[in-house]
Structures are given as C-alpha cells and as structure tokens.
Chain A
Amino acid sequence: MAKQKIQIIVCGGTSCNGNQSELLIDNLRLELEANALENDVRVIKSGCFGLCNLGPIVKIIPGDTIYTHVKPDDARDIVSEHVMKGRKVERLLFTDPVTKKVLATERELSSHKKQIRIVLRNCGIIDPENIDEAIAYNAYEALGKVLTEMKPPEVIKIVKDSGLRGRGGGGFPTGLKWEIAYKNKSDEKYVVCNADEGDPGAFMDRSVLEGDPHAVLEAMAICGYSIESHKGLIYIRAEYPLAVSRLKTAIQQAREYGLLGKNIMGTGFDFDIEIRYGAGAFVCGEETALIHSMEGLRGEPTVKPPFPAESGFRGKPTNVNNVETFACLSPIILKGAEWFASIGSIKSKGTKVFALAGKINNVGLIEVPMGTTLREVIFEIGGGIRYGKKFKAAQTGGPSGGCLTEKHLETPIDFDNLIAAGSMMGSGGLIVMDEDDCMVSVAKFFLDFTVEESCGKCAPCRIGNKRLHELLEHITKGKGTLADLDRLKNMSLVIKDTSLCGLGQSSPNPVLSTLENFREEYEAHVTIKKCPAGKCKDLMEYFIISANCVGCTACARVCPVGAITGERKEPHVINPNICIKCGSCMEKCKFDAIIIQ
C-alpha cells in the first residue's frame, strides 16, 4: 500500500450540511489547489459523525484529528497549518467545558455521541453464521460466569439492580419477572423469547436475530439457569425467513460447542432451545395468545391472572421476554448492574432501539440511552424532516400508542414520560409525520390495522373498533358532525375499559391522542368540511387563482370531464360539481394558478 496520504473528511450529514459544510469543502479544495496540493491531499464528504451539536465536523487522517464548529473560512488555516506544517489548528479543537481538557481525536470525543450500542453491539460486526466470531466478541462469557460463579438468586438480583425493564412494550421490570418465575416451583418451567414483532414499521428484533443471534440464545440460557428451567422456546413469525435460518444455524453451532444442550460447558446445567413459528398475527405477540399459539390452540388471549410466570406454556411457569430485553443481558452480567443503571433516565435504564420511519431523513435503526429527547432523536440523529418540511407529529407505540407533537420535542423519551404524554414506548417504532399528513387519516390508518388484527374474541374490540373506523371514514369523507367527535371519544373510552386484552385496551389510543392534540383538524373536517393537510380527497377542491391565471386554456383542454370553463386570455374557473379531482389540470398549469383548497 502507498504511503499514507493526508485525507480530509468533511461531514456532509444533514446538520453540518445546513451549516455550510458544502462551502467548506469547496474552500478546502480551492486552498489545496492554490498550494498545488490537490493531487496529494483528498477532501471527502462523509455522513453524520453523531457530533451534530459540535458541527460542522472535519476529521483529518492520519492522526484522527477532529475539528469542531468549522466555518468555511477555516479552510485556509486547516490547509496552511495542519496540512502544510503538520501543526494542529488549536482553536478548532474541542475543549470539554467541564474538565477543560482538549479532546482532539474521534476516540476522545466519542462520549459526546448521542447513540450507544448495547443491544446492537455486534450487529453488522460479526458473521452471525459463524459462532467463532460471536465468541471473539464475548458471546457465552456471561453464561460461563453465571454458571460457575453465581446462584440463581444472585443473577436475579443483578438483573433487578440493573433496572432493566421489558422492551416488548409494557416495560415490566425484568428482574422481578424472573423472581416470580423462580419462586413458582415446578418440575418443568419454560423460557420464551417473544420475537413476534407485529408492530408495523418495527424491525429491531429482526435485526438483532439476523445480526447477533447468539446474544439472544445466551441470554435465554442465563434466564433458564436463573429461574430453574431447562427449555427455551423462541416464538418467531414465519415471515422472517432470514432470521429463522440464522437462528437455526446459531442453535446448531451452539449445541456442537456444548454451549446449549446437556451439561453446558461441563457445569452440569442443561438447557436447550427450540423454535416455534407464528403466522404473523399481531395479537399473537400478546403473551397469553402467544402461549396458546405455541400450544397449537387458536392464538387468542386469555384473562390475566394467571400470569404466564404462574401458569404459562402447558400450564407450567413460563417467563416471556422480548428479543431486545434478552439482548441487554450479557453486557449487564459482564459489566455489572451499576454500569447499566448508569445509562438512561431515573426510572428507565439502559438504551432503547428505535426504528425511525416516515418523513424523516435518516430512516433506519438507532439506539439511544433512555431519556434522550424527541428533538435529539428526530433532528440530530434522524437528520430532521425530509425536504425541509415542518415537523408535525411522531407516533410511538404503533397502533397501541399515540402521537407526540411539537410541545413534546424536549420530552426525554422513556417508559413513564411517554405514558404521561398519552402515548407509550411499544416496541420502538417511531413514525414521523410532517405538515402534509392529515391526523384524522393517521388515526384511520392505525384503526385499519387494528380492525384487521382483532382476534374477534371479545365484542368491544371486534365491533367497537369497526364502529370507530366507520366514524373516522365518515369524517374523512366530509360526512361527520361535531357530535361525532364526542362519540369517537366516548366509544374509545368504552373500548379501552372493556376489551379483554392489550390489543383492544390500547387500540383507541391513536384516536384519543390525535383528537387531544389536533382537535382543530378534526373540527375542520366536520364543520367547514376541509382537510387542512390537503390529504382527504373528498374534502379537496381544485381552485384557480384568477390573479395568476393567464387564460392559456391548457387546463381546460386536459380536463377529462370538461369541468373547466373560460375565454382565451381570461381567467378560467373550475366547476366543483363536475370536477373529479384527478389533478391533471394542476400538473399542466405552468403559472401555478391552480391550487388545492
């Protein structure tokens, strides 16, 4: 390889880009050319460094120097000092305001990055089909430690002390759950991993299983030891074929290595894991329905209590945890409860993986400490709203959750704050909406899902949600009244109170929360029959602004139903009674005279 040349990496992420990093790149290139260095030193544009509030960021290799708050004019000093004389530009280095220490490299600055990867620690790093790679990255070390150095109550204590709460939605303290399962004595007990992941838009569990299956297998074995169970079951939807095949390979390899099966690592502890397939019904993610489905019965929930920890799979004590919950475990054992508890907010410890979706620039998975604010998630890590549009709302908790609005931007995201804000954590889907989204339609979208996914066992959910959906349909068609809004609310509350399982109990949440936060929008639909976001087709009207119309007749010629009239060179008019809202005229008009109202 050639001798290492100097390379200047300039952050081109959304935030730095918004602060003139593009111009900085141009200036750097000009400065290099002015000094005849353009062939020796390269300038490269990169993605976000995760240091947005210190941006624009410039990194220089070799040496890994990081310059912060770099302005286009700083290009001169960077080239004349750093590149030509090998001297760092001191004034562009970051000084920690607290310790007064200069943090000059990316490594030293890493504690300023907003994301921490605990759950996703090995995703994209190890080959999931090669157990050796997992072992190289500490897999099964925690299991070895637990089996040789600890008694079950000691493990449970660590999990309790860590403050870990279930990532499957409810946020129930994991250590407490294990303790209950441990105390319920039985000849047989089960450890179940819930990998149903039915929340639309969520794919963190799938990514963990595909990227680091051993993390989950190991944690299940640790759980088995802690609650005195010898059998683990993973309930996964058959629609996740890649995750299934990687899990199978991982289980096979772990057995061959004696890390699952009889007499694990020679310690005398037996634990094996099997896979059970679901057909992909949302309700089967609910733990009692999940257990019935695994027993070969209909995937319908039953009343709790009894909780699975008392009477679960085949009537035996069963501990159900989510994939992400399990994925937190080995680091907790290896690094200690205090370490885990030092990350996150007061009552929600550790990190949470979110799947960012919708109108956000950086669609994908992120992992942040609990207590990160919505603003940091959307505007820093997520890169902000697409096409520079205005943020309107973010839905968390999927069809069971609610929306957060501008007034929630500074809210630290954790289990309790989300509930206080009328939403919930759910599995971690975070769907971002912008000014073009109609909140009535958003509520209707989630109700579409619930109506489809209701198992039909109880009337409030089966019939009530259908009625809710009809009311929303009415409203979006301009047939609703103000009284309908009260009806929506009352019916929602009844469904919540009387449904049997979590699905029905939470299904009206999107309606209640949009109604609460965007009442004016609902009112516009039912009083003046307008959709402020311009989404509800039945409430739109195409309209020609006469001041802009030059009378070119282009629109009238393209209209398929002859709804447009007007003399040449005179402003034209659309007859709303004939117009079928096809939009052709608006596309054709070169003078921006046609608008939707």
Chain B
Amino acid sequence: MKTIKSPAELQKRKAEILQRMNEKEKIRIRVHMGTSGQASGAKVIYDFLKLELEKRNIDAVVISTGDMGYSYAEPTMEVTLPGEAPVVFGNVDKLKADEIIEKYIKNGELVDGILPANYRVIN
C-alpha cells in the first residue's frame, strides 16, 4: 500500500503529509544532530529534552536532523511554537535547554543566544 504509483500520487501523499504536520497544533523541536552537532553534545540535549518535556507534561515533537552548519555555536536547536516562525538557539547546554523550555516553550519569552536565519531560502 505504501508504494507510490505515479507522480500524481506523490503529490497527493505530499498534501496528506503536510496536512498531518499542520493540523497537529504541536510544538515542534529540532535538534541538529549531524556529526558536527553530535561531537559538540547535541545527543545530550536531545535526550534531555525528550525526558524533561515528558516530565513537565509538555506535548511536543522532538526530531533529530542534520546540522545547520553553525559550527561556532553548536549544539544548536530549533523550536517552532504553533503559529509562530521557527526560532534557532545556539550554544545550548542543559541549562540553556531548561531555560528554553521554561521561558520560550512555556511562555513564548525568548532567551539570549538566538540565531536569526542569516540566509535567504528558495521556496
């Protein structure tokens, strides 16, 4: 059933996925975990977030992605609150991650060390 049998079906699948991603009014968190991110400790942050979000009863999707390329500020992570633009945070340690949960995720209050998108996107 999984196989995509035509380019039109790919489009349909894409629309379904997008809808699924959008309808869940969930907090989405991305931890950048390429080789470089992991070398600077991104896995610790990933595990910390998974554990703490559950403990603190926050319903969020945490996914691991490749690196953004900000080696000078790694580990980095991104938070997208429902209806908001994504925000990337740099130099995240457990302390910072805790602050991000308490301030940004819970109250929408930003914390120092955000990394604005310093590039243009193509889509």
Contacts and interface: CB of A to CB of B under 8 A. Distances in A.
Contacts of A115: 118-120
Interface in A1-49: 1-2, 4-5, 7, 9, 11, 42, 44-49
Interface in A385-402: none
Nearest to B107: A2
A110 interface: yes
A123 B66 contact: yes
B14 A135 contact: yes
Given A4-B108, A120-B69, A362-B72, A44 B114 contact: yes
Given A113-B118, A361-B72, A243 B65 contact: no
B120 A111 contact: yes
Contact of A207 (B36, B63, B113): B36
A361 B69 CA distance: 14
A251 to B, nearest CB: 15
A113 B122 contact: no
B35 interface: yes
Contacts of B81: 1
A65 B10 CA distance: 38
Contacts of A366: 69
B66 A132 contact: no
Nearest to A125: B65
A355 to B, nearest CB: 8
A531 to B, nearest CB: 29
Interface residues of B, number: 54
A7 B109 contact: yes
B3 A364 contact: no
Interface in B65-123: 65-73, 76, 78, 81, 85, 90, 106-123
B122 A243 contact: no
B26 interface: no
Interface of B: 2-7, 9-11, 13-14, 17-18, 21, 30, 32, 34-36, 38, 63-73, 76, 78, 81, 85, 90, 106-123
9 contacts: A50-B116, A50-B118, A111-B120, A115-B118, A124-B68, A124-B76, A145-B7, A207-B34, A210-B34
Interface of A: 1-2, 4-5, 7, 9, 11, 42, 44-50, 59, 61, 64, 106, 110-111, 113-118, 120-121, 123-130, 132-133, 135-138, 140-141, 144-145, 147-148, 203, 206-208, 210-212, 240, 242-243, 246, 256-259, 265-267, 331, 335, 361-367, 381, 383
The 8 closest A-B pairs by CB, nearest first: A211-B66, A365-B69, A144-B7, A50-B118, A115-B119, A364-B71, A124-B68, A258-B3
Given A130-B63, A365-B71, 15 more contacts: A1-B108, A9-B114, A11-B116, A42-B109, A44-B114, A48-B116, A124-B68, A124-B78, A203-B35, A207-B34, A210-B67, A258-B3, A265-B6, A266-B5, A363-B71
